[in-house]
Amino acid sequence: MDLSLLSRLNEERAHRRAAVLVTDLQTHTQRLVFESEIARDPLSALLSDALRMGKSGVVETEGHKVFLTVQAPVLRIIAIGAVHISQALVPMAKQLGHDVIIVDPREAFASPERFPDVAVHAEWPDLVLPKLGADRYTAFLMLTHDPKIDDAALNFALKSHAFYIGALGSRKTHGKRIERLQALGFDEQAIKRIQAPIGLNIGAISPAEIALSILGEITAKLRLKPDGAKIGN
């Protein structure tokens, strides 16, 4: 690989930005396509599918083959609430290769003993989230059932580029949440970004089942096309 391409690729990786290295297998020429440029690229459909699936491989276009080397940041889940659902979710998320961060100002819950080998921040969301940041590969989970905690996190998440925002609670609870967010100045389009009730509708009851439904919904949001179709359909 050309050293200048490698340098640019490493820079994108350091800033948690996705990119695809396109190698023409006939001419052996290479070019780097940044995520922000994919929509304007001649191979936009192929690049979008490869990036959405996070999978490198050979594709054919106009009678010749190219190899797409996909570089996508590790998905990061920021769970607001050091609750039983979070405890069940952490090992599942790790198996999927995701990073998890726990945020909860209640020190009795947000402890290393309850969440070993995970970054735990016993701080209020409005203080810690600006330091953590959020990008297109960040998912926010609001799990405390406490508006004082969840709403502060939502206020940050809705202003970010996070690809997924979910909130625990019934439809009635979410209705009250919408009223509070509207009072903060968020419009209908912004509020619609929130998946509530959180998780796929699989009849989940236990913390582990709810965690499973949440991770399923995150995966669907990450991998499916905007119209809900599977890649290749």
Specify whether 9 is located in the same domain as 51: yes
Specify whether 91 is located in the same domain as 187: yes
Specify whether 211 is located in the same domain as 126: yes
The verdict on residue 231 lying in a domain is no
Cβ contacts of residue 50 below 8 Å, gap of 6+? 20, 56, 57, 59, 68, 70
Q: What is the CATH number of the domain that holds 101?
A: 3.40.50.720
Number of structural domains found in the chain: 2
Quote the pLDDT of residue 8. Answer: 85
Cβ contacts of residue 57 below 8 Å, gap of 6+? 50, 67, 68
Please tell me the pTM assigned to this model: 0.89
Residues 11-49 pLDDT 10s:
888 888 899 999 989 888 999 999 889 999 999 999 999
Q: Tally the C-alpha atoms within 13 A of residue 188's C-alpha that lie toward its C-beta.
A: 0
**Residue 54: pLDDT over 90:** no
Quote the pLDDT of residue 127. Answer: 96
Specify whether 168 is located in the same domain as 94: yes
64 pLDDT band (50/70/90 cuts)? confident
Percent of all residues in the chain with a pLDDT value above 70, rounded to a whole number? 97
Domain of 50 in residue numbering reads as: 3-71
